[in-house]
Structure 1
Amino acid sequence: MEDAQRVFNKMPSHDVVTWNSMILGHVKCGQGQKALELFQQMNKEGVQPDSVTFVGVLNACASIVALEEGRCVHQQIIEIYMISPKSEHYSCMVDLLGRAGKLHEAENMIKVMPGKPYVPAWRALLAACKIHGNVEMGECVAKQFLELEPENAVDYVLLSNIYAAAGNRHLCENVELQRQERGVENQTGHTWIEVKNEVHSFIAGNQDHPQMIEIHTELQRLSGLMHDVGYVPDIKFVLHNEEEEEKGFQLCHHSVKLAVALGLINTAPGTPLRVIKNLRVCEDCHTSTKFISKIVGRAIMVRDANRFHHFEDGVCSCLDYW
């Protein structure tokens, strides 16, 4: 985004597409406040926003949980800019309301959306149910879009995680059985990191990397340092019947941790790390990466299936909601 900003600043003029690119770029990188500041600047310069602009602005409001500002913007789309809100705009509002804990209001927002049911909106509400621990609503929401997209393994995982967070192993197993009966295959999680112009790929539990001994040594070192400053492994989503210590050991073999450790032992102190994951990063990897960023004094960027996570000094740009 720093490079994009430099290019933007050198341009003699900016049209709506240019402004949209910058606003959406900041949103993707978890910089919601900066995106809203750009929108204000865009208005001052007299550039008329379009439908895409407001997708970015509402997403920015959601990313920093600016509830009242988001409500105001959503109303302005209709009353001031005379734009008919699309499913994407309603979905952004569902995300915002869900982050703010307004789950019933978010559900009502979905019900008044124009057109056919919009899966991303239901999925945003399900994620909110998981974050806020509303198992009952999470079940109802899951049934809605499992009918819309019964072949999407992500939705089964989300519902299973809601049950896992509530400590209901039996219902987790039922969700897994339902997934298998419908023939839905779980996507294998892969994580990549580029080090010295070479791309390294990791799968959870895989031990094939030639530097695996050094990687585990580094993870053991970091684990001790993290525990000293308050890190507790998040084992609630490890559903097997192993002892607590064994569950913690499993978490150490997650692919994001393996990739981060490889980056740390092969790059100079202070060098930013950039990691890519094909699925949503798990809660424990997210928490541990926050701790690691503070302990080693590094910026760590993780691009997962949902967004860019910028970890720095123990904080993530997503504010722990993704």
Structure 2
Amino acid sequence: MLEEAEEWLSRRSWDAADRSLPQLLSAKRAAGAAGSISVVLPALNEEATVGAIVEALRRDLMEDVPLIDELMVVDSGSTDRTSEVAAAAGAKVVHRDEILPRVPTAPGKGEVLWRSLLATSGEIVCFVDADLREFDSRFVSGILGPLLTEPSVQLVKAMYDRPLGDNPGGARQGGRVTELVARPLLNLHWPQLAGVVQPLGGEYAARRSLLERLPFPVGYGVELGMLIDTLNLAGLDALGQVDVGVRKHRHQDGQALGRMAAAILRTAQVRLPGSVLPNRLGLTQFQRTDDGGFTPQTHPIDAEERPPMNSIPEYAARRAA
């Protein structure tokens, strides 16, 4: 299996510079309706960064080169000016709660991505995290490339270096949950996926025909679950990855990473044969008190997963229309 992963790594890994924008535009036009592209930014309190990302994508990939057909920010309950900044920069802004209102919303990134399938129209859907700094539009054009030029590819992940902070000495030290949790899990249980450089990265694109058949964990486990489910549904060669350079973004503290790791572990465990887990899980963490003791705090680890979108009547009706 590891040999298969290494062979896949050499065949299904590209660089963003491998395909020029004119080549991508030509391939998009040749594909017709199948080449329509929606870009989605899930956002929660990202007023500091979302505007620059939207501006770059609108300028580079909508005005200069008409590659993107739809640029949407899905606000998942921001209390800052995320929606206003995104709209002013040129994105269509939709609130998470406005999409499929009959289904109560759950907190979490996966919930937003799942609902975005009902709000968007492109046959290729690209997801980009809204907290990126020094954003380069090749993050999007790069990962769209294989989907526009390789008919057998269905899901493409971005790969990159992740500096930890602004210290040059911390280069390539980001992605702590990836290295401590996700990569060991994949190597142990899904070794075919051992060649995926950034399994938890938030920048990836996929064909709608794949995404609509996948369950979506509502929280942090969505990226790992999507990889494993795509492998099981479509096979290893349906996956690809593209090097887009360096990714700079906001880093979370250790306890937040612990909660993320717990969600990812849970997502992986339910995909192992014979695993039975309770629907509600908790992670107990500790805070030092003023008197020198420790106070436990138990955080819920949401185990909910949304069903494939093609099973939702409203989605089926919209697609039929």
Q: TM-score range by the shorter chain?
A: under 0.3
- TM-score by length of structure 2 reads 0.25
Whose strand fraction is larger, Structure 1's or Structure 2's?
2
Tell me which structure has the larger Cα radius of gyration: 1
- TM-score by length of structure 1 reads 0.25
Whose helix fraction is larger, Structure 1's or Structure 2's?
1
